Amino acid sequence: MAVFEEISPADFFYRNRDIAGFSSPSRAIYSTLRELIENSLDACEAVRVLPEVRITLRELRPSPTGAFFYSVRVVDNGSGVPGDKIPQAFGQVLFGSKFRLKQTRGTFGLGGTMAILYGQITTEMPAHIVSSTGDRYIHDYELMIDIQKNKPNVLRYKVHTNRDGWHGTLVEFTMEGDYTRAMPKVLDYLKQTAIVNPYADITFVDPKGRLYVFERTIRKLPSPPKETLPHPYGVDAETLYRLIAMTNTKSLSAFLMEHFHRVGKSLAGKVLERANLDPNRSPKTLTPSEVSDLANVMRSFEDFLPPDASCLSPLGEEILEAGIRKELNPEFVFVTKRKPSAYSGYPFIVEVGIAYGGGIPRTGDIVLYRFANRIPLLYDETSDVSWKVIHNLMDWRYYKVNPAEDPLAIIIHLCSTKIPYKTVGKEFLSDRPEIEREILNGVRLAARNLMLYLMRKRRFEIGKKR
Amino acid sequence: MAVFEEISPADFFYRNRDIAGFSSPSRAIYSTLRELIENSLDACEAVRVLPEVRITLRELRPSPTGAFFYSVRVVDNGSGVPGDKIPQAFGQVLFGSKFRLKQTRGTFGLGGTMAILYGQITTEMPAHIVSSTGDRYIHDYELMIDIQKNKPNVLRYKVHTNRDGWHGTLVEFTMEGDYTRAMPKVLDYLKQTAIVNPYADITFVDPKGRLYVFERTIRKLPSPPKETLPHPYGVDAETLYRLIAMTNTKSLSAFLMEHFHRVGKSLAGKVLERANLDPNRSPKTLTPSEVSDLANVMRSFEDFLPPDASCLSPLGEEILEAGIRKELNPEFVFVTKRKPSAYSGYPFIVEVGIAYGGGIPRTGDIVLYRFANRIPLLYDETSDVSWKVIHNLMDWRYYKVNPAEDPLAIIIHLCSTKIPYKTVGKEFLSDRPEIEREILNGVRLAARNLMLYLMRKRRFEIGKKR
Ligand SMILES: Nc1ncnc2c1ncn2[C@@H]1O[C@H](COP(=O)(O)OP(=O)(O)OP(=O)(O)O)[C@@H](O)[C@H]1O
Ligand SMILES: Nc1ncnc2c1ncn2[C@@H]1O[C@H](COP(=O)(O)OP(=O)(O)OP(=O)(O)O)[C@@H](O)[C@H]1O
Ligand SMILES: [Mg+2]
Ligand SMILES: [Mg+2]
């Protein structure tokens, strides 16, 4: 007889922790550090503060499985978390502040909690969280996660007076891991994070006591992404339903103008005409099939205005080129920032850089660097949409480029209010057609510029010979 | 000011449907069909019935995004679902009957619900479910999912008298998809499903009205996997905590013997001695650090008995070889079933087949077929642990095999009470060390047998020349 049960989302990720990126002791170290660092960078940018992130990883003792127990500690000077929200922010899965339509590194509401959960199941020790938003109090928690209920369990809570007006967050817990195996990827992650976040000061003390310092190279934060309305292109019926349920607008025309990005009276009129709906009707009177028709029209309507980029925070060509030159020391660099586009209602911008020669090694293939919302992606590159573009969709011979012989690197940064990660561990991007097209066009433009450079170079060298 | 929210698991997978395998209209067709077929095969095996699964995909009309709207319908003669459980089984994410320690295709409690959710958000139409467990009633539901609450919304419920004692389930709903793009993978999936489930009758009517029939080639079900106790090797403290919370045993010794697989009095005694715990203590008196010590000892204890395979249902060498010969028509086949092993408390068995020559094409690389719990895995092979073993860990030259030139296929089947999928879409397996080791040893044994065959063959051909 079948036994039916329901499980909490924390229990789901406990049972399937491979899915969240915690598949082995070395991968757990990488995933833990990246989740905490990304939380810290988000928190600093949220309050327009130049980030200072201090990471310490201390080896405690060997673990029974041939790995080690570590103490992880990450401190930042960011927004902090309100005292009453700390238990859920860190002790409940699918709880967070980043479900809004704004570009942030975090998006699922589970990364930080997952790291703490993994630490808990491998060491049975509580997590220590200290945080203040800069007001009069510093909140000091010791907590564990009730995995079956997906609820925090506060073991101890102290409040300190905040004499210096400190703001920020300290997260500290023990976990089993394998830093020796994880080290190359961890250092790679820190290095590439520094490239695309040049305004951040990051320090890392590793288990051997070695200190790594990534000093900021610019003192200016990028312009902050603003929260935005959903873009009408690609909206589905569920989104429409939710907006209709909570709207105060009294007419369909006002409904479209109020709740969608860059929809004015005349555009709203055209959309409603095509959907055969009276612009003056109250949105709450629509039947399910009328909602479905409206969604279908909006998904095929070609004349919406492209999103403006105010909800996005691209690197910009200057920062991207400077980072490429500093790290790769190439002979030739070309960078391009594509115009804003949208998929399924989410605005996005693709930035592409191409680098040739100089310090770039000949590896027999193009070296691919991938970034999403300023996060370096270091795993599963062959499953990523960028890989597909470069290896399956680009015709390099047309550009007189031979990927097997030329020393070539391609850098791709995607920023969006929702990055279409294929995995919970944020390892690679799914091949959404609109995004694939933008990456392809960006790489083609970059390839064309490389081709012109190489032609001039070869002509020059031929000229020299004569 | 940060706005904190919590979202339901249905909402999580709605917002991140790429993660569940619904990343494009063509992928959605594949994911929907596979999730429903796997549910049907599980349901038939659960009541020891030779499976009959009828799949119909009808094209309704074009969709606004250049894809199409389809009606999907899957009928089986399996266990059926109890009437009062149908709404949650199909309308709630993380609800199901496969959270037990028994080999089943389903494991997450969300595949079927996700398919219905995707149909709902693309067509705004309800799903139609008809099911009976073979008793006096047939339950007939029309339902939708309240995504924000993760709860089913029953629109209509009828009960019919079950005159013929029918048992089984019919699932029917509309969705947007792209069958033309999905077709090669869908047909591949059906073909490979038929290979590793030769006792199943599967028919598929595609949108063009073409009928595909996969007749059963054997009339005998594999011996049914039994539900099992967790294997003690690799158990973590959270598992111990839950068992302690619900145990009725009065001593630690009885606790270990009662709740773990193949633990007898003397083994329990050795484990407790090493953990410095009195075997007569009540389990509920353990402190957190004692639970942690016990987990650590159990995770490093080398002398647990290997799991018996009663909770597993491998293909068996006969079925695996027959399937390989029928499909690939090779000159040489070798198959091996490894002994049961365990990772993190979950028993597993690896089965490896190698096929050479004959009908196997020379593709410049080894053709890899992957299966997990009798499910074909058709995506992301380069991220899979089997790919890593074959391409990074195997030294083929040692076996006088040249993967780039020899016509070679490798077939790997992993069965376990928990398959370590790296993704919710069940695309590829994570590289758990114990599983990687078993696959590597199986492939080595297969390669050694191929080497002996090729040596005899070449000696024979050299002999013929003289
Ligand atoms: N260092 C920090 N400073 C300020 N707030 C934080 C910090 N770390 C976590 N938070 C808060 O806790 C919430 C939950 O964090 P968590 O990492 O679990 O999810 P997320 O960052 O929202 O999404 P993701 O799973 O994609 O990382 C965040 O949304 C944020 O509000
Ligand atoms: N055709 C069917 N016959 C009988 N029971 C079914 C059928 N389809 C679904 N169910 C029941 O509904 C539950 C939920 O199905 P769902 O596919 O959402 O999750 P699952 O199969 O348990 O796990 P997974 O997400 O890995 O597929 C199943 O556990 C099963 O009990
Ligand atoms: Mg986070
Ligand atoms: Mg299922």
pLDDT in tens, A47-95: 999 999 999 999 999 998 889 999 999 999 999 999 999 999 999 999 9
pLDDT reported for residue B12:
97
pLDDT at A96 over 90: yes
State whether the beta carbon of A234 lies less than 6 angstroms from ligand 1. Answer: no
Reported in sequence order, the residue ranges of B304-377 that DSSP labels E, i.e. its strands, are 332-337, 341-343, 346-356, 367-372, 375-377
Interface test with B, best of A124, A383, A384 (most B CBs within 10 A): A124
The band of A105, judged by pLDDT with boundaries at 50, 70 and 90, is very high
pLDDT reported for residue B46:
96
Q: Which residues pair with A5 in a beta bridge?
A: B96
Which fold would CATH assign to domain B315-465?
Ribosomal Protein S5; domain 2 (3.30.230)
For residue B94, list chain A residues with Cβ-Cβ distance below 8 A. 6-9, 12
Instruction: Give the C-alpha separation, B113 to B12, whole Å.
Output: 13
Q: Which residues pair with A24 in a beta bridge?
A: none
Q: Which residues pair with A354 in a beta bridge?
A: A334, A410
The band of A441, judged by pLDDT with boundaries at 50, 70 and 90, is very high
Does residue B273 sit in helix, strand or coil? helix
The answer to whether domain B9-214 and domain B315-465 are alike in fold is: no
Q: Which two tokens mark B67?
A: 């894809």
The domain spans of chain A are 9-214, 237-300, 317-465
What average pLDDT is seen over chain A?
94
pLDDT reported for residue A3:
94
Interface test with B, best of A1, A4, A421 (most B CBs within 10 A): A4
pLDDT at A463 over 90: no
pLDDT at A466 over 80: no
For atom 29 of ligand 1, which residue has the closest CA?
A96
Q: What is the DSSP letter of B396?
A: G
**A325 CA: distance to closest CA in chain B (Å):** 31
Q: Which two tokens mark B301?
A: 């204890």
Output the CA–CA distances (angstroms, integers) from residue B409 to A1, B194, B412, B455, in the order listed: 40, 18, 10, 18
Q: Which residues of B307-330 are buried (b: 16+ CB within 10 A; e: fewer)?
A: bebebbbbbeeebbbbbbeebbeb
Can you tell me which residue has the tokens 């490429």?
A324
Could you list which residues have their CB under 5 Å from ion ligand 4?
B 39, 106, 111-112
What tens-digit pLDDT sequence spans chain B (466 residues)? Answer: 789 999 999 999 999 999 999 988 999 999 999 999 999 999 999 999 999 999 999 999 999 888 999 999 999 999 999 999 999 999 999 999 999 989 999 999 999 999 999 999 998 899 999 999 999 999 999 999 999 999 999 999 999 999 999 999 999 999 999 999 999 999 999 999 999 999 999 999 999 999 999 999 999 898 899 988 988 987 888 999 999 999 999 999 999 999 999 999 999 999 999 999 999 999 999 998 899 889 989 988 989 998 888 899 999 999 999 999 988 999 999 999 999 998 888 899 999 999 999 999 899 999 999 999 999 999 999 989 999 999 999 999 999 999 999 999 999 999 999 999 999 999 999 888 899 999 999 999 999 999 999 999 989 888 887 7
Among the CATH numbers 3.30.465.10, 3.40.50.720, 3.40.140.10, 3.30.565.10, which is that of B9-214? Answer: 3.30.565.10
Which fold would CATH assign to domain B237-300?
Helicase, Ruva Protein; domain 3 (1.10.8)
State whether the beta carbon of B51 lies less than 6 angstroms from ligand 2. Answer: no
Can you tell me which residue has the tokens 């090669």?
B184
- Percent of chain B with pLDDT strictly greater than 90: 83
**DSSP per-residue letters across B285-319:** G--HHHHHHHHHHHHH-TTPPPPPGGG-----HHH
Q: Which of A8, A64, A96 has the CB atom closest to B4's CB atom?
A: A96
Ligand 1 mutation pick, A35, A88, A98, A107, max ligand atoms within 8 A of CB: A98
CA dihedral sign, ordered B211, B212, B218, B223: negative
The band of A235, judged by pLDDT with boundaries at 50, 70 and 90, is confident
pLDDT reported for residue B357:
95
The band of A134, judged by pLDDT with boundaries at 50, 70 and 90, is very high
CATH number 3.30.420.40 is the correct assignment for the domain at A317-465: no
Does residue B155 sit in helix, strand or coil? strand
Structural contact between residues B131 and B139, judged by C-beta atoms closer than 8 angstroms: yes
Instruction: Give the C-alpha separation, A407 to A387, whole Å.
Output: 17
Q: What is the DSSP letter of B429?
A: B
Nearest chain A residue (CA) to B21: A422
Residue whose C-alpha is closest to residue A20's, from A87, A119, A110, A83: A110
Q: What angle do CA B265, B270, B276 make, to 5 degrees?
A: 120
Q: What is the DSSP letter of B24?
A: S
The band of A116, judged by pLDDT with boundaries at 50, 70 and 90, is very high
State whether the beta carbon of B106 lies less than 6 angstroms from ligand 2. Answer: yes
